[in-house]
């Protein structure tokens, strides 16, 4: 009331100078009084480039969800003691060892189990009144090479598999509430998900033992720790084909083992939840519905939402990320009765394994982002902020192709006239090969030079997309259709200059060379224009992708320029834009 009286008095003054001072004072009063009371919307966007205060005063996330489901996060040795551990203890009820329990770090050498680091984490977590989830007993990544190397006999592989699982599960028995027994055994987007065996990743365990390795390791874990809940854990589960393959696998194994220690062998399914801001919550809901019908527990096990790139977030990207988190947590609340837990994968952007795309709830100064407020109170955040998305245009990335007809040689100086295009947004759970490109054009051809780094140079897999390779996507007419048309094409070249095309007729006139150096390679291509007569300022649909294979011949990473949906192979509307300039 006092504010209103002052404002009225100033506003009715007839003195212009007095009116000016009054206006300034009104602004000051609004800033001092109204904004601090502005709720979620006032907290939504802040300058992350400067340290903020007040993180200690934020409401506890776990308290907000105490009656719904436990909220979790990861823990590493760097988190023990100090403000990081205090934040974990305040906001989260259950923690997962980020790396310390993975096979490589527990048994790096045959028969030598090193539990010291993991024990320190578990002891600290339990002492602080939180619970511990174990991650992971079996995985094709971050496992010692000796445990299942090429040429190993089946009996020896089974012995290694069961010995490791039993020893580790028994060591932590009574101290962990659940285990990711098996991690990421199903391939991406399997073509025939009804046949889950044909959908299995061609991992060393599969090659040596066969599909039954899954049942073997779950039985070993159940024997060693009968009380712990046993989970199968995987990423990209919002893909319907992958979710269906997992569903069929768990269903069959549990039907064949209905009474393994008094209950079905597989207790739960972990949906990792490595999402982008464009992830459709309906796809997540469909996956939840499918798994819930199995009668198993379902958890969100590694949640993060990527936004921006190069460790930078614009105001629009902060808002989009907050809304994405709010939509997801609103969905999780809807399914709270069947969720075992929701675990974040990283406390803050600075220490996240996806730090370049700032996916966490807290920024690099451990201050809450809009993402935190969206997760904390989804309904209020969406009500106050969802309408603001219309203020920001969601444009695809745009790059330039300069005019010139280079030789198919990395030494041609013409390449340096084109600006680099960074191919460094990851759309799988693993960060592997990435690179950059330069693009040129003339009246007949598009030319591209793509340099790939951090590659394994592996082409052991029969499927071309599983090999170390680059892909170029073109929509010459820039129609942005949601399906492939006559002017669209997908061109793939591996590090050994072996090519594949979609559709196959676009191979006519295509040329390429590859230059390999250590763990890097450069692909130079010459692509004929098929449906347009290019000229200056023409815009064409364009995208780039780098497939990174593992040492075992399995695609473990996908880096892209623009399309973060992973749908470029079938949906040209996802492409970025390439402008032809002179």
pTM for the whole structure: 0.76
Tens-digit pLDDT profile for residues 430-464: 789 999 999 999 999 999 999 999 999 999 988 89
Q: What is the pLDDT of residue 490?
A: 97
Is the CB of residue 188 less than 8 Å from the CB of residue 239? yes
Between CA 579 and CA 524, with CA 435 as vertex, the angle to 5 degrees is 65
Told to judge if 234 belongs to the known catalytic residues of this protein, a careful annotator would answer: yes
Is the CB of residue 277 less than 8 Å from the CB of residue 386? no
Q: What is the pLDDT of residue 431?
A: 82
Tens-digit pLDDT profile for residues 238-272: 888 999 999 999 999 999 999 999 999 999 999 99
Asked whether the predicted pLDDT for residue 516 surpasses 90, the reply is yes
CATH number for domain 55-391, candidates 3.30.565.10, 3.30.720.200, 3.30.1050.10, 3.20.20.80: 3.20.20.80
Of all helices (H) and strands (E), which one includes residue 96? strand 94-97
Catalytic annotation, pick one of 79, 98, 180, 184: 184
- The winner for highest mean pLDDT among 32-46, 163-177, 348-362, 476-490 is 163-177
What lies within 8 Å, CB to CB, of 501 at 6+ separation is 489, 490, 491, 492, 507, 510
β-pair partners for 440: 402, 447
For 417, the token pair is 């006239």
Confidence grade of residue 310 (pLDDT, cut at 50, 70, 90)? confident
What lies within 8 Å, CB to CB, of 161 at 6+ separation is 138, 147, 148, 205, 209, 213, 216, 217, 220
Asked whether the predicted pLDDT for residue 543 surpasses 90, the reply is yes
Q: What is the pLDDT of residue 8?
A: 29
* Bond preceding residue 466 cis, omega within 30 of 0: no
Is the CB of residue 430 less than 8 Å from the CB of residue 469? no
Residue 243, burial from CB neighbour count under 10 angstroms (0-12, 13-18, 19+):
buried
Whole-angstrom Cα distance, residue 61 to residue 547? 37
The b-or-e profile of 169-195 (16+ CB within 10 A means b, else e) is bebbeebbbbbbbbbbbbbbbbeebee
Name the CA dihedral angle for 314, 315, 321, 325, rounded to a multiple of 10 degrees: 150
Calculate mean pLDDT across residues 334-338.
96
- Label residue 357 left, alpha or beta by phi (over 0 means left) and psi (-120 to 50 means alpha): alpha
Asked whether the predicted pLDDT for residue 311 surpasses 90, the reply is no
Q: 120: helix, coil or strand?
A: helix
Tens-digit pLDDT profile for residues 15-25: 333 343 344 34
The b-or-e profile of 318-352 (16+ CB within 10 A means b, else e) is bbbbbbbbbbbbbbbbebeeebbbbbbbbbbbebb
Q: What is the pLDDT of residue 509?
A: 97
Q: What is the pLDDT of residue 276?
A: 87
Confidence grade of residue 473 (pLDDT, cut at 50, 70, 90)? very high
Asked whether the predicted pLDDT for residue 502 surpasses 90, the reply is yes
Q: What is the pLDDT of residue 55?
A: 64
Is the CB of residue 511 less than 8 Å from the CB of residue 499? no
Is the CB of residue 432 less than 8 Å from the CB of residue 468? no
* pLDDT higher at 523 or 48: 523
Calculate mean pLDDT across residues 543-566.
91
For 525, the token pair is 């291509």
Asked whether the predicted pLDDT for residue 99 surpasses 90, the reply is yes
* pLDDT higher at 564 or 513: 513
Told to judge if 533 belongs to the known catalytic residues of this protein, a careful annotator would answer: no
Catalytic annotation, pick one of 79, 297, 302, 475: 302
For 37, the token pair is 């009371």
Domain boundaries, the chain: 2-37, 55-391, 398-581
β-pair partners for 275: 305
255 to 110, 294, 323: CA distances (angstroms): 35, 10, 40
- The architecture (CATH level 2) of 398-581 comes to Sandwich (2.60)
* pLDDT higher at 150 or 35: 150
Calculate mean pLDDT across residues 503-527.
97
Tens-digit pLDDT profile for residues 153-169: 999 999 999 999 999 99
Q: What is the pLDDT of residue 392?
A: 76
Tens-digit pLDDT profile for residues 416-429: 999 999 998 888 76
Pairing of strands 445-453, 421-423: unpaired
- The winner for highest mean pLDDT among 1-10, 302-311, 528-537 is 528-537
Asked whether the predicted pLDDT for residue 47 surpasses 50, the reply is no
Told to judge if 159 belongs to the known catalytic residues of this protein, a careful annotator would answer: no
Q: Which residue has the tokens 């069929």?
A: 248
504 to 316, 463, 507, 508, 509: CA distances (angstroms): 40, 16, 6, 9, 12
Percent residues over pLDDT 70 in the chain: 90
The whole-chain average pLDDT of the chain stands at 89
Is the CB of residue 405 less than 8 Å from the CB of residue 442? yes
For 73, the token pair is 């996060």
Asked whether the predicted pLDDT for residue 40 surpasses 90, the reply is no
- Label residue 557 left, alpha or beta by phi (over 0 means left) and psi (-120 to 50 means alpha): beta
Lowest mean pLDDT among 149-163, 208-222, 311-325, 384-398: 384-398
* pLDDT higher at 304 or 2: 304
Q: What is the pLDDT of residue 553?
A: 87
């Amino acid at each position: 009331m006092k504010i209103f009286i002052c404002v009225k008095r100033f506003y009715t003054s007839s003195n212009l100078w007095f009116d000016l001072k009054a206006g300034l004072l009104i602004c000051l009063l609004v800033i001092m009084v109204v904004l601090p009371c502005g709720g979620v919307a006032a907290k939504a966007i802040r300058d992350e480039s400067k340290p903020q205060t007040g993180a200690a005063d934020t409401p506890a996330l776990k308290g907000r969800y105490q009656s719904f489901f436990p909220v979790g996060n990861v823990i590493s040795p760097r988190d023990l003691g100090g403000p990081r551990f205090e934040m974990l203890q305040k906001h989260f009820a259950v923690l997962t060892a980020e790396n310390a329990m993975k096979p490589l770090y527990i048994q790096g050498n045959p028969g030598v189990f090193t539990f010291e680091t993991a024990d320190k984490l578990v002891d600290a977590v339990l002492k602080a009144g939180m619970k511990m989830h174990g991650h992971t007993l079996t995985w094709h990544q971050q496992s010692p090479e000796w445990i299942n190397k090429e040429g190993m006999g089946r009996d020896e592989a089974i012995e290694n598999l069961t010995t490791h699982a039993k020893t580790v599960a028994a060591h932590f028995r009574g101290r962990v509430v659940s285990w990711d027994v098996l991690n990421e055994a199903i391939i991406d987007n399997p073509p025939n998900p009804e046949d889950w065996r044909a959908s299995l990743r061609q991992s060393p365990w599969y090659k040596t033992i066969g599909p039954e390795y899954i049942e073997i390791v779950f039985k070993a874990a159940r024997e060693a720790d009968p009380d712990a809940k046993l989970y199968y854990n995987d990423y990209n589960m919002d893909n319907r084909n992958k979710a269906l393959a997992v569903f069929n696998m768990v269903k069959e194994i549990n039907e064949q083992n209905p009474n393994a220690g008094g209950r079905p062998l597989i207790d739960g399914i972990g949906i990792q939840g490595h999402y982008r801001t464009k992830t459709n919550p309906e796809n997540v809901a469909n996956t939840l519905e499918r798994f819930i019908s199995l009668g198993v527990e379902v958890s969100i096990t590694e949640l993060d939402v990527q936004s921006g790139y190069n460790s930078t977030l614009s105001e629009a990207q902060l808002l989009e990320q907050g809304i994405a988190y709010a939509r997801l947590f609103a969905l999780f609340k809807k399914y709270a009765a069947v969720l075992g837990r929701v675990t974040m994968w990283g406390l803050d952007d600075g220490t996240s394994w996806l730090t370049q795309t700032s996916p966490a709830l807290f920024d690099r100064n451990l201050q809450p982002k809009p993402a935190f407020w969206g997760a904390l109170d989804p309904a209020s955040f969406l009500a106050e902020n969802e309408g603001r998305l219309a203020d920001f245009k969601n444009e695809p990335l745009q790059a330039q192709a300069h005019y010139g007809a280079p030789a198919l040689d990395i030494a041609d100086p013409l390449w340096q006239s084109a600006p680099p295009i960074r191919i460094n947004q990851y759309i799988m759970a693993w960060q592997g090969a990435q690179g950059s490109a330069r693009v040129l054009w003339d009246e007949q051809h598009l030319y591209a030079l793509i340099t790939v780094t951090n590659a394994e140079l592996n082409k052991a897999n029969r499927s071309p997309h599983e090999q170390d390779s680059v892909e170029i996507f073109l929509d010459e007419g820039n129609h942005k259709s949601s399906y492939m048309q006559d002017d669209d094409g997908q061109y793939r070249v591996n590090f050994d200059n072996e090519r594949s095309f979609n559709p196959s007729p676009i191979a006519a006139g295509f040329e390429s060379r590859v230059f390999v150096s250590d763990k890097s390679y450069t692909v130079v291509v010459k692509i004929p224009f098929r449906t347009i007569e290019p000229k200056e300022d023409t815009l064409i649909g364009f995208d780039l992708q780098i497939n990174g294979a593992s040492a075992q011949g399995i695609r473990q990473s996908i880096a892209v320029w623009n399309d973060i949906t992973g749908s470029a192979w079938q949906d040209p509307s996802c492409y970025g834009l390439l402008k032809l300039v002179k």
